[in-house]
Amino acid sequence: MASSSRSWRYNVFPSFHGPDVRVTFMSHLKKQFQHNGIIAFNDEGIERSKLIGTELIRAIRGSRISIVVLSENYGSSSWCLNELVEILKCQESVGQIVMTVFYKVDPCDVRKQMGEFGKTFKETCEGKTETQVHKWIHALTHVANIAGEHSVNWFVLVFYP
C-alpha cells in the first residue's frame, strides 16, 4: 500500500535513547512538533520490557514518518534496537519515511558498530541469538547509510549588542 493513500495515526514516531536525549534534544523537538500541529507518538507511560510491546509496534506502524535519533548509547538498548528493526520493516512494506539524526555520535561508528557506540552495542549483544544480533547489525548499518542531520554541524550564534 502506498504511504500517500493511507490514513496515519501519527505524523511522527520518534525513536531515541531516553537518557541521552529526552531532556535535551527531544524536549525541544517535541515542543516544535506541538507548536506546528504535528502529531507525534509519546512513549511516556509505556512499561518497558525485553520485547517490543504491542502498543509500540502499533504506533510505529501507524506513523507516516519515523525520526531515529542515534546517540552514543542508542545501541545499549535492546528496546531501541527492536524499534529500529520494526521501523525499517515499515519503511520497506508501507513506504514509511525514515529520517536520521546523529546526536553526538559519528555515523561511521553507528554504521560499523565502532567506538563507544560499538562498545555498548557489543555488550547489548551478549547472550542474544545470532539471528537477533544479525537483525540489529543490518538495521544499524542501513539506518546509518540514510543521509541525516549530524549534531557536529549545528552551531549557535550568539549576538551581543
Do residues 14 and 67 touch, judged by C-beta distance below 8 A?
yes
Q: Which three cell numbers stand for residue 141?
A: 548499518
Active-site annotation holder among 44, 83, 92, 126? 83
> How far is residue 139's CA from residue 149's CA, in Å, rounded to a whole number?
18
The contacts of residue 152 (CB under 8 Å, 6+ apart) are none
Under the phi-then-psi rule, with left for phi > 0, alpha for psi from -120 to 50, and beta for the rest, what region is 71? beta
Q: Which three cell numbers stand for residue 58?
A: 502499533
**83 a catalytic residue:** yes
Give which of 108, 43, 101 is closest to 69, Cα–Cα: 101
Active site residues: 83
